[in-house]
Structure 1
């Protein structure tokens, strides 16, 4: 099978160019397709990806696209598990958020966008995958035997030992991976990419993930929650605080596993909590090019920074 085989008939031929642009955590391959002045994105699942999981994610992606929350789906090849969507030019959500003139509007739109995700219908047979259990599985499985700084173990065990607060609302359809790479701002709307992890979840989890990755302080988190709830929030709920620590630890553990897959040697014994970059410092080094996410060292630094962030929350 070639990549061209996954395209609709009208996009096959010498007038079409296909360029690989990414590889997802699931092993999926992502390509930019250009033809006759138009751009598209083609995502092909890896052969190792479970077919039922792929169909479930496609169902959620279709729901989101129909609601204007994800790029339009233009073609699906179910046999090859390939999905072609419209290409959306990113006008930078981060710039929208950082500009003092648009910051409040950006936070409001972000909170309302998450609310719209959570309003999508949940299939009756959908099952929640508890993130604390996922963290335990990653820690005892993928990261077992990998040399890590002492503070990492303490951070993970702190999160695993914490008792989740009582849930006071029904589960919603959570995206469960609302990191900045999955948030695209087209100048008018915020669109969400990569629905592979979508599943029933506590509503606070998506909001907590955003808060962690965008380094939101208490006031900013309250404004995000206020936009989500549609009313002023004056105190961060215990569920949000719990999921914020858990989301940072889980994301950090996943990223450390990526570093391991990229053949990082692990800890040398000299690493300490004080010598580990904060999340802010990591982002600064990434912006200067001193660290790159596609490398083992970049993933290692990012994973440790996220775990350090969890410990500070």
Structure 2
């Protein structure tokens, strides 16, 4: 099967170009398609992704696209497990947020967008994803035997030993991976990519992930929550604070797992909490090109910075 076989008939032809642009964690192939004077994105599921999970993700993606929360779906080839969506030019949500003249508008729009995600109906067969259980599995399985600095274990064990605060809210359909690479800002709307891990979740988890990855301070996090709730919040809830520590620890542990998969040698013994760059310093090094995600050293540094962040929260 060629990649072109996954396209609908009206997008096939001698003038069509298909360029690989990414590979998903599950082995999915992502391609930019130029056809009929327009641009599209083709995503073909990897062999490791089972049919039930793929169909669940497609169902949620359709819900999101119909609600204007994800790029428009143009074509689905269920036999080949391929989805074609409209290409949306990204004007950078992070730039929108960091611009002082648009910062508050961006924050308000982000909170309201997450609220709209959580208003999507829960699929009847949706299985809950518990990030705390996922952290425990990564720690005891994927990272077992890997040489790690002592503070990594401190961060993970601190979260796993903490009793989650009780919640009186019903679970929502959470995206579960709202890191900035999954946000597209087209100049008017925020659209969300990659719905593969969407599942019933505590609402605070998506908000906590955003707070961690975007490095929102206490006041900015409070305004994000206020935009989400549609009413001013006077303090950060215990549930949000807990999920923020959990989100940072899980993201960090997963990045270290990726580093291990990329054959990183692990800790040398020189890594300490004080010597480890903060998350902000890591981002600065990424911007200068000193570190790059997708490499063993980049994933390792990102993971350590995230776990240091978890300890600081």
- TM bin, normalised by shorter chain, reads over 0.9
Q: Which residue in the other structure is 2:40 paired with?
A: 40
Q: For the residues of structure 2 that align with 1:126 and 1:9, how far apart are their CA atoms?
A: 33
Deviations 1:85-125 (A, max 9, x none): 00000011011101111111100000000000000000233
Q: Are the equivalent residues in 1 in contact too, given 2:42–2:84 (CA < 8 A)?
A: yes
Q: For the residues of structure 2 that align with 1:29 and 1:238, how far apart are their CA atoms?
A: 39
Q: How many residues align?
A: 313
Query: Aligned pair 1:270/2:270, yes or no?
Result: yes
Report deviation, 1:37: 2.2
Q: For the residues of structure 2 that align with 1:216 and 1:102, how far apart are their CA atoms?
A: 15
**Pairing 1:1-313 to 2, within 5 Å after superposition:** 1-313=1-313
| Structure 2 gaps, min length 5 | none
- CA-atom RMSD in angstroms: 0.7
Report deviation, 1:173: 0.3
SS in 1 for 2:216: coil
Q: For the residues of structure 2 that align with 1:150 and 1:27, how far apart are their CA atoms?
A: 32
Deviations 1:231-251 (A, max 9, x none): 001100000000000000001
Deviations 1:154-186 (A, max 9, x none): 110000000000012100000000000000000
Report deviation, 1:13: 2.4
Report deviation, 1:36: 2.8
Please identify, of 142-151 and 106-115, the stretch whose mean Cα deviation from structure 2 is larger: 142-151
> So what's the TM-score if we normalise by structure 1?
0.99
Q: For the residues of structure 1 that align with 2:107 and 2:207, how far apart are their CA atoms?
A: 11
SS in 2 for 1:141: helix
Deviations 1:242-284 (A, max 9, x none): 0000000001111111111111111111111111110000000
Deviations 1:121-155 (A, max 9, x none): 00233221211001000111111111111110111
Q: For the residues of structure 2 that align with 1:280 and 1:256, how far apart are their CA atoms?
A: 18
The list of structure 1 runs, each at least 4 consecutive aligned residues, that deviate by more than 4 angstroms after superposition, is: none
Q: Are the equivalent residues in 1 in contact too, given 2:12–2:35 (CA < 8 A)?
A: no
Q: For the residues of structure 1 that align with 2:45 and 2:139, how far apart are their CA atoms?
A: 26
Q: For the residues of structure 1 that align with 2:18 and 2:256, how far apart are their CA atoms?
A: 31
Q: Are the equivalent residues in 1 in contact too, given 2:63–2:120 (CA < 8 A)?
A: yes
Report deviation, 1:210: 0.2
Q: Are the equivalent residues in 1 in contact too, given 2:43–2:83 (CA < 8 A)?
A: yes
SS in 1 for 2:142: coil
Q: For the residues of structure 2 that align with 1:174 and 1:310, how far apart are their CA atoms?
A: 21
Q: For the residues of structure 2 that align with 1:198 and 1:301, how far apart are their CA atoms?
A: 27
SS in 2 for 1:294: coil
Q: For the residues of structure 2 that align with 1:125 and 1:65, how far apart are their CA atoms?
A: 20
Q: For the residues of structure 2 that align with 1:37 and 1:245, how far apart are their CA atoms?
A: 46
SS in 2 for 1:248: helix
Q: For the residues of structure 1 that align with 2:188 and 2:72, how far apart are their CA atoms?
A: 15
Deviations 1:17-76 (A, max 9, x none): 111111111211111111132110011110111110010000000000000000000001
